[in-house]
Structure 1
Amino acid sequence: MVGNQLCRKKPRVLCLHGFRTSSEILKKMMGKWPDSILGNFDFDFLDGPYPATGKSDVESIYDPPYYEWYQVNEIECVHFEECIAYIDDYMIKHGPFDGLLGFSQGGMLASVIPQLQREGSAFTKVPKIKFVIIISGFALRELKSGPPKMLANVYSVPIDCPSIHLIGEKDFLKERSYKLMEKFVIPFLVHHSGGHTVPRLDEKGMETMNKFMDKIQMIPQELQSGLGLKSAL
């Protein structure tokens, strides 16, 4: 890693879990990453605003409670604006945050927050997000009623925010994950052999992650310590 890293404060990262899982589950999933990665960030994990309203796909693996950020069907996306307001409020009260990490549904949210911030439609009272880490993320699919109003133009301009995308060969959302990655100006890619999960990082994945972390350190910024805020890993 870059030589001056020890002299700098760790980037604070807000972590957003997947649909009908939880912050605790995402924390456990990320625990398979080595300390050489986890130790370079100050992670804060947030639960979604709504208790799960149906069966969770991880019930046989992880204990409840489970949460969701929003619901989507073929016609519409429900509670999206409320979800954004919830995250915005948390970032105001518990920030500042330098970056975002999102898994699955949380990855979708992490991808649009920099654009909503750029447009001035949300996150205007918090510092600019400097990077995103997206694991099995996706762009919201086309709906009969159209996208939520806040997302009408969110992908009209390439996302000028350094990003790293972890995409599994066996992930059922693989194609949508690649489509999302293409919307970023400076994407890094970690392709792994697994499915819809937080993968272990092999030698090549570690190399890419280290390059991404070097990129982050090159961004002009004044990282803040966030005294009194939890570091969850």
Structure 2
Amino acid sequence: MEIIREKTVKKPRLLCLHGFRTSAEILKKQINKWPQSVLDKLDLVFVDAPFPSQGKSDVEAIFDPPYYEWFQFNKEFTEYTNFDECLHYIEDCMIKHGPFDGLLGFSQGAILSAALPGLQEKGVALTKVAKVKLLIIIGGAMFNSASVAEKAYSSPITCPSLHFIGETDFLRQYSMEITESCVEPVVVHHPKGHTIPRLDDKSVEIVMNFIDKIQKDA
């Protein structure tokens, strides 16, 4: 009698980077709006950013503190404080909780996530961990600082990437620019603003197909 063993499909393991002046717990609550069918396909690890919030949070009326930020920046978003410390912290999290297949980020966490594959390729970040193999970017943008941008985006982002872009998001234009730097961007458009959207049937299909392709190519 032949015994057929079903191959266990490994879930993509993603380090999840929350938005500016929010927290791991808040991002987890935001992501949990997604259907269980999608959540069951992913292994998500949520971590707080390294620095306590240095100002008012935009989510104070919605979510309880504490709030954290990944790094600080000027009004033009061209100068950053504690940026290198942030990169070291993310790498430490990947060593402690990994190995990881990729990154999921929202807002400030999405800006970081989209930049990290390029920074890793240039040897200025994530040098002690495996190569980032996929990205999920929600409401992101690109760094304005030339010193960061020339390292992060000088080469196309070659890993598969899934992008959520809101029609009324104030970062919409900048989110679209990220996709232009990606070799394999898959885009989910939604009618909301700068938020993690609920997924309609069409969006669920796009997300599930993206995850299925990642697993087949693994």
Query: Does 2:116 match 1:113?
Result: yes
Query: Does 2:207 match 1:218?
Result: no
| Distance in 2 (alpha carbons) for counterparts of 1:102 and 1:5 | 33
Q: 2:175 aligns with which of 174, 177, 198?
A: 177
> Which residue is 1:29 aligned to?
30
Which 4+ runs in 1 deviate beyond 6 A?
none
Identity across the alignment (%): 56
Contact kept in structure 1, 2:116 and 2:152, CA below 8 Å: no
> Which residue is 1:85 aligned to?
88
Change (3 A) 1:192 1:5: farther
> Which residue is 2:16 aligned to?
15
Aligned pairs, how many? 212
Gaps of 5+ in 2: none
| Distance in 1 (alpha carbons) for counterparts of 2:80 and 2:109 | 15
> Which residue is 1:140 aligned to?
143
| Distance in 1 (alpha carbons) for counterparts of 2:217 and 2:53 | 38
Deviation for aligned residue 1:96:
0.3
> Which residue is 2:207 aligned to?
209
Q: Provide the aligned C-alpha RMSD in A.
A: 1.6
Contact kept in structure 2, 1:159 and 1:183, CA below 8 Å: yes
Deviation for aligned residue 1:153:
2.4
Q: Classify the secondary structure of the residue corresponding to 2:41.
A: coil
Q: Which amino acid aligns with 1:187?
A: P
Deviation for aligned residue 1:151:
4.2
Q: Which amino acid aligns with 2:118?
A: Q
Change (3 A) 1:9 1:182: same
TM-score (norm 1): 0.87
Partner deviation per Cα, 1:145-179 (whole Å, 9 max, x = no partner): x44x4543221111001000001011111111111
Contact kept in structure 2, 1:167 and 1:189, CA below 8 Å: yes
> Which residue is 1:45 aligned to?
46
Contact kept in structure 1, 2:15 and 2:100, CA below 8 Å: yes
TM-score (norm 2): 0.92
